[in-house]
Amino acid sequence: MYFKEKGRTPLFSFGMNATSLADRLDAVLPQTQCTKCGYDGCRPYAEAMAQGTADLNRCPPGGAAGVTALAALLGRDPKPVDPSCGVTPDALHVALIEETHCIGCTLCIQACPVDAIVGANKLMHSVVADLCTGCELCVAPCPVDCITMVPAKREWTRSDADAARQRHEARRTRLQMLHHETAGPAARTLANKAPLASSLTNESDKAKLIADVLAKARARRQATDDPSK
């Protein structure tokens, strides 16, 4: 189970200020913003459920307890988490950047939905573990495979979820102001876009940059693997 609360308090609860059905559904989602449900974050998924266009069992991080809470709000029977959306993790994992291999490409920063990665173009990046939701969205874009998911050795709490929602909303607002984008892959690409990458409009220049980046990464790996070099 991914999301736990202490004592006899219900696993998922919503605040008194949650008025619409979408608000109440969003309040019980874990706010990992992982997009495994097929929507670009927890809020869009909650809105789709409220409108009747999304099923209630598409949130692997929420697990069976999350489905039960959503079903109660929707007045429906619970069902197993849809396996096509992924497997419910048995514990919280967070991203870890292998800093010796990081090439400073900023792609992980662009992908992070809650601004949990710090760094700059051509400089080493680091994950702020306490802010990481375990969404895994930063893993695939890394061109040198230097990001792994490791056990967080702590539980994901309602306080964590509320804070993640706020950071995600702040990031979404920033995207709208800077790039006139709202959500989705285009917004993730534009978020915190490195000046160097954004200045390259010629496809051959982009290809050369990628080739140079990969060459440097291979050289770093070889030097690490062979101490004599």
Q: How far apart are CA 112 and CA 108, in angstroms?
A: 6
CB atoms within 10 A of CB 205: 11
Contact, 220 vs 98, CB < 8 A? no
The stretches of the chain forming alpha helices (DSSP H) are 21-28, 42-51, 63-74, 107-111, 158-179, 185-190, 195-199, 203-225
pLDDT tens digit string along 6-23? 332 333 444 434 369 999
Residues forming a β-bridge with 150? 94
Residue where the block lists tokens 């079903």: 71
Contact, 117 vs 110, CB < 8 A? no
- Name the token pair of 1: 């189970």
- Render the burial of 177-186: b for 16+ CB within 10 Å, e for the rest: eeeebebeee
Q: What is the mean pLDDT of the chain?
A: 81
pLDDT of residue 10: 36
Q: What is the pTM (predicted TM-score) of this model?
A: 0.74
pLDDT tens digit string along 31-53? 999 999 999 999 999 999 999 99
Q: Is the pLDDT of residue 219 over 70?
A: no
Q: Is the pLDDT of residue 198 over 60?
A: no
